[in-house]
Every structure is written in structure tokens, then in C-alpha cells.
Structure 1
Amino acid sequence: MGAQNTVVLNSYEVIKEAFVTKSDIFNDRPRHLSSIKKTSGAKGVIWQNGETWKALRRFTLSTLRDFGVGKNILEERIMDEVEEVTKIFLASEGRPVAHPKEPLSKAIANIISALVFGNRFEYDDPELIALLDIIEQAFAAGAAQYRPETFLPFLKYLPVNSEKWKKILAARDHNYRFIKGQIDNHRKTYDMNNVRDFIDTYIAVTSGQKEGQKFEEDDMFRLILDLYVAGSETTATNLNWSVLYMIAYPEIQRKCQEEIDRVIGSRRVSMKDRGSLPYLEATLKEIERCSSIATMTVPHRANRETTLGGYKIPKDTIVLCNLYAALRDPKCWDFPDEFFPERFLTADGKLDPKKQEYLIPFGVGPRVCLGEGLARIELFLIFSNLIQRFKFTKTAGTQVVDVIEGTNTTTRNPKPYQLIINKR
């Protein structure tokens, strides 16, 4: 790709060899991506390397736990957004409507907002609408790290490419202004004795008030941006796929609902119920496998010469992980192109730990997506409570098979579809 030696890994076996067995060699990120960063050195945690990456990752995970991940307060915030989505679904009950990504995106954005900014937006807030629209445009333009212009910079000036590249840069600049505004507002009310959210922690760290932590301000800024942008779009896309698969496979939807009715009854589903709903959990896992919203991981780099699968890999080779192929690897999955939640269950109806080992939609190894824990909580609570309350069916004109083929941009999305939502 341009002047960069690039290798693509397409099976679970070789992906595990690279990112688990030889993670010390393949943990680094490539150095060629400076053209998409606004500020020199602004790598955040996603693009950072070495000890700084390890420290930023520990800090991020610890801070997310401090502000709710894994705690009851996060569950309450998620359920608040479930109630808002429920109102929207009830308002359109019985009528054909467009796919539900828009309200789901607003719900996920508000959950992230509560963790990072300490507040939420009303669903009709122009700022929220504009922000999600610009994120959608940026993701539709394609991931900058894979675009030819990143490897051959002169291509961005050609008319055929310039408009997409402008959209990527415009989205980046809009999001930077939004985060900066949030930080400026927080500075006005900041109290070092009452750290309220992730941005307050950013202020404490970058001003030297948090003992034992010292990070570059640009990296902290980029970290907040990545948490909000990436965390909002990917989980909303996964939920959109979840609804689509339910209208495509009504019998599986019915089995999920029957399990909830039998185990939970009419009360809302909570995280403590997760282990009691194996069929629903298996369905969510199969949705993750088949939708494969991240078709590729963020690029890695070999920090020295090595081998993978018996092939020599030169130093500084870029290594891409084809998650789409790994999640359909016939060595790991029987009939890999079929939607079949039972593949994750044992004969007695329990979750099969062996099959879960092969399920790597968030990547694998030390560089696994740091938002995985939050995303899985969001997916379980939102999906289970909506499927408990509503029945999703396809419209007469919807050809589900065509829609499920999906479209690839930065993430893999369903093609536009319609559905009918009815209260159960």
C-alpha cells in the first residue's frame, strides 16, 4: 500500500498467533498515519505505542470504572435511554418506519455523554443531531487509515477523492470543536475536590493535580474524542443489526421473548439476569458474529522481523486483521454463513465456552477494544428490554436477504430497511 509492506490476516489461528502469542511484536501502531491527526503527537490511546500506551489504557479503563462501568449507576443511565427509545417506538406503533438507528444512536451517545461529559442531551437537541450527523458522514466516507490518500498523500488533491477527504477532515474539525467546548465549559465549574466525569479527570491530569498521572494534553484530548465518536457509532450500528436480524428471523425473536417471559416475567431485564438468559446471550453473540461491524481492526505494525503462519514478516510491516473472515473461518464455525444462535450453546442449553473463544468482534490480545465491556453491557440491556416490550416485523416490501448483505464503509452497516414495531 504505497511504500508500506502490508499483510492481511484472515483466519482465527494466525490472528491469535500475531496478537496473543506474539503480541510483544505486533502491539505497535504504524507511524504513517500522521496525516489524519490534527495536532502533532495527538495519538490518544488508540494510536499510541510503548509505555505511554499501556499507561493511557490503564488510566482509561480505571476512569471508566470510576464513573460507572460495571456499576448500578451505569445500568440506570442505560435504562433511562431505553425509556426514551420506548416512547419513540410507541409513537410509531403499527406503521412502517425506517430502521431505528437514529433513536438508538441518540441513546448510545447519551450514555457515553454521561460518562465523559457528565450530562445528556434531549433527543431533539440541535447540537446532538448535528454531532451525530457529522459522525455518520465521517464513517460513511470510510476509515482514513485505510484510504489510499493516507499512503499516497497526493491522491487527496485529485477531484475524484478530494470531496470525501474534505468530509473526513471537516468531521474531525467539527468534533474537535465540540470536545473543546465541553472542556471549556467544565473548566468554569471545575472543583478538584469533586471530580464529576471523564473531562474533569482530563483537567486534573493535564493541570498536574492528579498525583501519579502525567500525560500530554493532546493525547488526553484525542482520547476523549475517540471515546465519544467511536463508542457512539459502533454500538448503535450493532443494535441496528440486532433489530434487522429479528425481523429476518422471527422464530429466533420469538424464542428470545419466550425465554425472557419465562425467566423474567414483566419486570425489566437487568444485568443480574444475564446468566439466566443463555438463548438471548447466544443470539447477541451470533448477531456480533454475522454482522461483523468492524470488518478490520485498527492497523498494527511489526516492531521487528518475525514469522506468521510460517511466512517471514519484515520489520515495520503493517498488519491488518480481517475480522469478517475470522468470524466466518470454516475451521472454527460450522456452516459459517448461516444465522444460527444455537452454535453457541451446549446440548443442555448452556453457553459453550469453546465457541466463545473464537468470537473476536472486538479484536483479541492486549490491543482488544477498550470499550468492549461498556458495549456488551449496552447491547445486552438495550436489546433485551426492547425485545421484551416490542415485536419487530418486516414490511411487505422489505427484501431482508438483500439488506443483510450490508455495506462497508468505516463500519459494516445494514442497507436501509423498513420495519413495523408493535407493543407486545
Structure 2
Amino acid sequence: MSEMNASSTNCESSPSSYLRVFRFLPVTKLSLVDNKCIHRFNSCTRQKLKEVLAWGVFLDGLSRCFASNGEHSEGFESDQGKISYYAGLMENVDRSEKLTLNGAHFLGVFCGAVLLLRIARYLPLLLNVYSLLLCLAFYLSYELIYKRRRFPPGPMPWLVAGNMPDFLFCSSIDDLFQSWKKRYGGVFTVWIGPIPLVMVSDLLSIKKYFVQHAELFSNRWRNHVTDTFMGGVNGVVQIDGPKWREQRRFALHVLRDFGVGRALMEGKIMDEVNAFAAYLRLNQRRVAMNSPVAVCVGNVINNMLFGMRFPQGSAEMHHLHSLLDQQSRLVINPIMGLYIAAPWTTDVPLLNGMWNELMAIRSELYDFLQKQIDDHRSILACGEAIEDDFTFTYMREMEKRRQTGADMGYFDDWQMKMLLLDLFFAGMETTVTTLKWGFLLATIHPDVQRKVQEELDNQCMGSSVTLADRPRLPYTQAVINEIQRFANILPINLLRTVAEDVSIDGFHFRQGTLVIPQISILMNDEHFFPDPKQFRPERFLDQSGKLRRIDEFLPFSVGKRQCLGESLARAELFLIFSNLLKQFEFRAPPGEQLSTRRLLGLTVSPPKYECLVETRKRDENHNIV
């Protein structure tokens, strides 16, 4: 205290000491030169409050001083002149008014000062919160508005998840699609996570996109799951460009040579129909239909690809069909989206369970195919007589190109293996699934089954139904069409991508955008198929009972990606279904109600079911008795 008092005394001892304390700096500020002489506030607990109050009074008085219209006095440029000038201004101020400030005015100054101090204290935090909110606003604007602006309209996506929650929590994916079509039109966008998927679901747009502009909308979507499963860009289903054109052209040529859609292939199908019928006679009464249907159809494709077949009841064929079913379920699971978006998650132990299952299925299918290829190579090496099949034909094509020095193109051993895998899966899964639905629906609707049998009995006098009988069987064909429409086995068509930037109907599609012809929506549209959830074959017949064409009925898709084996599938569906209904009665077990619940996968399957199967008794002229 003594030192402080001494210091104060020294400062007060001469008037000129104040001139040393304050130096007037008009450009910047008044700065303290010797702050030891200035003790504005004590250090008591109320220091902050006093300081705010004092600053409020000081600032108010200072503002009044500078509001004066006084002129600078002479000698203003010197420090003494400046002090004298401001002292004079202060003398002119009404001191009573200054010392008794208006209450509201003083309270405003005081509260403003307190608020400024408070804000200054939390300014860094407020800036961080503001920045966060600004970033969030930009992100939401981008996700919900900006990135959707050039796509067709569609349901509002969830952040990150897109419209996946809509798929996961809906009771019926078919009803969900129909509601979107009614609300947004025939062309709309859904978001699979962060990926936009444009669904084209009206006939005119489907033809415009995938027929008139087929070159732009025929590429396939490449991703980590399909590339890994197929060992790269191989096969024929998931490839595009020159490789796809070459391999598809070769496959179509071979299928035509094998008589697909003609008498040669019809005979091979009938061999399997007869084996199926023999199995049903041997195992009459209660029969689980899934396995014998799979063996029947599987043997048709096995014979064509590998020149071999399995006996009915084969455990190996049943296991192969089970693998294809599991694969169909796995690849449509939402977690596959995670594997596509973040491939590294396939190595994370808690996340890669389904990935490991998929790879185990791939390994078993690879082993089956490799065994068939090795057996064919052994036969060729021994020079044994061979019966043509797809594998031998492909091997000979490669050998011919090597010997002649011709360009090998995209022919190699791995491509052959993956092409066989594609043909095996496509030839098995879709036709087997449709026939499972066919026998289930015939069992649930005995009146429809009876009408088919009456038509077959009246029009086909022989023991078997042939492709030549098809024009005389309009009701049977209508039933098969309605089975395909009702089953609607492709919930989401195989994905296509845009080959290059293009604008159609006011929408701009960038290269790589996912666009698909969503035929499942079209075949459930009540405008073209009234009461679409009702199984009614008569919708495919005109008033005279003849089969009528409905343009919206597109079970094999359209455009350049139309089903490669359409003619084979049509022949199988007709011959297997009609011949078995001609020979057998299919009834539901007593007290059981068969379900038409839809099990989603790459294809939509019915639940497993059993039928009571009885042979229809005939006389020596093949008439029902």
C-alpha cells in the first residue's frame, strides 16, 4: 500500500505527469503509457459489475461529448491543447443530466454491455455451432433438393438410407410400387441408399427408353458383389459392350442349332416330362412339388449345356437347386448394398456373415462347373465320340480359333465357365419358379384346373400334348399367361445403366445412371389388368374365347436385354404344365389351406407346399373314365 500511495503521490505531484500518462493516438486508440499510475477498479468480488457500470457511464458521456458541435480551439495539435479541448467540452455538458442519466437509457447501455461481454465469452462456441448448422443446411439442401433436381420425381429419400426403409417396412413391395406409380407417374426415381434408381413402368416409356433408344439403355451395372461372384466382367448377363455382343451372338447361334423352339428340343423336354410323370406315379398321394419340378427343368438345361442329366429324386440336383435359391435370397438382402458401397466391410467379422455365405455358394457352383469342364476335356483328349452340347461347342470354337490363328476375341476358359454359370442359373431359376407357382395355383383353383383338363381332353386325342397343339388350346395358354402375370417373379428387373449422357422427356440422365424397365409394376397395373390380385385366366381371352394379346404383358422383358432363352422357357412351361395336368389331378391335402405368400429374392417364390397327386384314369383310347 505504501508503494501504491507513493506512486499515486508522484503522479499527482505535477500536472505534467498526466501528459506523460496519456498519449493521444487519433488513428488507433488512447493507449496507457504508464499503467502503474492508473488504478481504475479494485479487486473485490464485484469488480466485473462495477467495471460494466463504469464503462456504461463513460461511454454514454463520451458519446454526448462527441455529439457537441464545438470547434477545435487553437493549440489543439499539442497534447495540452487536446486535453484542454475535451475538458472544455465536458464543462459545457449539463452535469446534472449526466449524473442523473435517464433510467431506460442507462439500462439499455448497461444491458447491452453485459450482453456483449456474455457473447464474447461464448463466441468460439457460437461460431462452431453456426458453422455446424450452416454445413447441415448445405448438406440437407444437397441431399433433398439439389441432387434430385434433374431426376424424375419420386418418394422423398431418407438421409443415407435412401428409400430402403420403405422397402424394409412395407407389407407388399408390389403395392408400394403401385402407390408410387399413381403418385409420381410412370417414370419415377427411388434411392437405394445414396444411389438413384429410375424405374420406367408405363408401356410407352418402356418402348421409348429400351426399344427406340436401346443402345443408350442396355449397359449393365458393375459393382463389387457381381464382379467378385463372376470373377470379373464375365458371363453374358452382367456384361455389356463388344464382349456382350460377341458372347450373346454365339450363345443364340448355338441354341438355334440345338433346335430351341423346334422339334429337336421338344423331344428333349418331353423326355424330362415323361420322367417327371413316372416319378409322380411312383410317389402318388402326397408330393412336395419343389424338388421334382427343379429336377425336370434342371435336366433340360443340363442336357443342353453338359450333355448329362440327373435322375428324379437326385440329392445332387436338389442341392444345386437349393444353392441357387440361397443365392437368390442373399443377393437381394439390404446388406449387399453395404458391400457394394464399402467393399472393405466384406472383411469385417461382424458384418461379413452373408458375404461368406455367398462366397461359399460360389465355391460350390464353381466346383460343379469345373467338374463338367474337366470331364469334357478328358473326353476330347481321348478322342471319344461325343454328342454335341454347349460346352463341347464352346471348346471347339476356341480350338478352331487357335489353330487358324484367328482373333480369340473374348473366348477363354474363364469366360466359358462364367457363361455356363449364367446360362445354368437363368435356365433353372426363372422357369422352375414359374412352374412352382403354376402347380400351386392349379391346386388352389380346381375349377381352372378342370377347364384346362377338359380342353386338353377335347383337343389332344393322343397321350401327350405337343407344341403343335398349342394353337388349339387357347384356355391353356391363357392360364399359363395368367400364371406368369400373377406370379410376377421379377420384383425388380435386372439393373441397366445409361451408356452416355442423354435427355429424354425433360429428364437428364448422366452416364452410369441406373434405369430399369419395371415390368412387375406394368403387369400389376389395374388399368390394364382389373383386380390384379385375382387369378383370372379369362382376362387373356376375347369374347369369342380366342387368345388375345395384351401389350402390357411382358414376362420376358423388352429390348436388347430381352430374355436370351425366351423360346426355350415358353416351350418348357407349355409342355410340362399341360402334359402333367392331362395325366394327373392335383388337390390340396385335406384340412390344409395352401398359401400364395410371396418370398422375395432375385425371383419371387411361393412357400414350400405339398399336393395330393392322383393319376387320371383312362381307357385304351386314352379317354378319361
TM, length-normalised to structure 1: 0.91
Retained in 2: the 8 A contact 1:297–1:322?
A: yes
**Higher deviation after alignment, 115-124 or 251-260:** 115-124
Give, in whole Å, the separation in 1 of the partners of 2:481 and 2:451: 15
Question: 2:336 corresponds to which residue?
Answer: 147
Q: How does 1:197-346 map to 2 (within 5 A)?
A: 197-209=389-401, 214-217=409-412, 218-308=414-504, 310-346=506-542
For the pair 1:374 / 2:586, whether they are aligned, the reply is: no
| Identical-pair percentage | 32
1:377 partner amino acid: A
Give, in whole Å, the separation in 1 of the partners of 2:335 and 2:554: 21
Alignment equivalent of 1:63, drawn from 228, 231, 254: 254
Q: Tell me: CA distance 1:206–1:192, structure 2 relative to 1, closer, same or farther (3 Å).
A: farther
Q: Tell me: CA distance 1:141–1:32, structure 2 relative to 1, closer, same or farther (3 Å).
A: closer
1:398 partner amino acid: E
Q: Counterpart of 1:48 in 2: which secondary structure?
A: coil
**Higher deviation after alignment, 369-378 or 414-423:** 414-423
Retained in 2: the 8 A contact 1:33–1:145?
A: no
Q: Shift in Å at residue 294 of structure 1?
A: 1.6
Q: Shift in Å at residue 193 of structure 1?
A: 9.3
Q: Tell me: CA distance 1:40–1:408, structure 2 relative to 1, closer, same or farther (3 Å).
A: closer
Quick check: which has more Rg, 1 or 2?
2
Retained in 2: the 8 A contact 1:25–1:303?
A: yes
For the pair 1:136 / 2:330, whether they are aligned, the reply is: no
1:405 partner amino acid: R
Q: How does 1:152-163 map to 2 (within 5 A)?
A: 152-157=342-347, 161-163=351-353
Q: Counterpart of 2:560 in 1: which secondary structure?
A: coil
Q: Counterpart of 1:24 in 2: which secondary structure?
A: coil
Residues paired across the two proteins, number: 418
Q: Counterpart of 1:84 in 2: which secondary structure?
A: helix
Alignment equivalent of 2:605, drawn from 410, 413, 423: 413
Q: How does 1:87-166 map to 2 (within 5 A)?
A: 87-94=278-285, 96-98=286-288, 100-143=289-332, 147-148=336-337, 149-157=339-347, 161-166=351-356
1:169 partner amino acid: M
Residue ranges of structure 1 left out of the alignment (5+ in a row): none
**Higher deviation after alignment, 374-383 or 30-39:** 30-39
Retained in 2: the 8 A contact 1:192–1:209?
A: no
Q: Shift in Å at residue 155 of structure 1?
A: 4.4
Give, in whole Å, the separation in 2 of the partners of 1:202 and 1:11: 39
Give, in whole Å, the separation in 1 of the partners of 2:577 and 2:466: 11
C-alpha distance after superposition, 1:103-143 (max 9, x if no partner): 01011111111101012122344433332232222223234
Residue ranges of structure 2 left out of the alignment (5+ in a row): 1-191, 617-625
Q: For CA contacts below 8 A with separation 6 or more, give which structure has more relative contact order.
A: 1
Q: Tell me: CA distance 1:371–1:47, structure 2 relative to 1, closer, same or farther (3 Å).
A: same
- The RMSD of aligned alpha carbons is 2.5
For the pair 1:85 / 2:276, whether they are aligned, the reply is: yes
Retained in 2: the 8 A contact 1:144–1:150?
A: no
Retained in 2: the 8 A contact 1:289–1:327?
A: yes
For the pair 1:169 / 2:372, whether they are aligned, the reply is: no
Q: Tell me: CA distance 1:330–1:373, structure 2 relative to 1, closer, same or farther (3 Å).
A: same
Q: How does 1:390-409 map to 2 (within 5 A)?
A: 390-400=584-594, 403-409=595-601
1:119 partner amino acid: M
**Higher deviation after alignment, 54-63 or 317-326:** 317-326
Q: Counterpart of 1:6 in 2: which secondary structure?
A: strand
